[in-house]
Amino acid sequence: MSGNQFKRGELYSFITGVASTAIARRLQKNFKQHGIDITIEQWSVLYHLWKQDGQSQQELCNATFRDKPSITRLVDNLEKLKLVRRVASAEDRRINMICLSEAAHALRDQTMEMANQTLNEALGGVSTEEIEMCKSVLQRVYDNLK
């Protein structure tokens, strides 16, 4: 294994083992401390619904890079929490449109504020240029594999 390949292995280890969980764990803890009982995964679905309400589960799969069973269960749990409801589409009855409840709308500002705080904390000492470059690299990795 060449030196460079070893570094790539380390990057793999880092991407899958650290960066993907450290921010999530911190954000989860902040939610909990503020009495907000949703998981980060649930929040990431709400995040995309706040951008556009009424998306289908398939659209949420694409947006969150999850598979269909994962979204089915996240929506199940969000429904239990009365944060979303499934509304059958009139045009295509295979489709569930996922619609935010009033409670979910109310969560937006509160959690977005915490997310920003956490991300500012996490990204202390990281410049905007570096953030952009990371995004670009991660996008290329994703495109290479999809």
Partner DNA sequence: GACATATAGTTAGTTATGCAACTAATTCAA
Partner DNA sequence: TTGAATTAGTTGCATAACTAACTATATGTC
Residue type, 74: L
- The listed partner (a copy of itself, DNA, none) that binds 99, CB under 5 to 8 Å by sort, is none
- The listed partner (a copy of itself, DNA, none) that binds 69, CB under 5 to 8 Å by sort, is DNA
Decide whether 87 or 134 has the Cβ nearer to a copy of itself: 134
Decide whether 74 or 107 has the Cβ nearer to DNA: 74
Q: Comparing C-alpha atoms, which of 79, 9, 94, 99 is closest to residue 38?
A: 79
Torsion of CA 38, 47, 119, 131, to 10 degrees: 150
**Does 44 interact with a copy of itself (rule: CB under 8 A)?**
yes
- Own/partner pairs for 70-76, CB < 8 Å, 24+ apart? 71/45, 74/41, 74/42, 74/45, 75/45
**Binding residue (CB under 7 A) for DNA from 72, 85, 99, 112:** 72
**Which residues inside 23-62 make contact with DNA, applying CB under 7 A?**
25, 28-29, 39, 41-42, 56-58, 61
- The listed partner (a copy of itself, DNA, none) that binds 132, CB under 5 to 8 Å by sort, is a copy of itself
Angle subtended at Cα 103 by Cα 99 and Cα 105, rounded to the nearest 5 degrees: 65
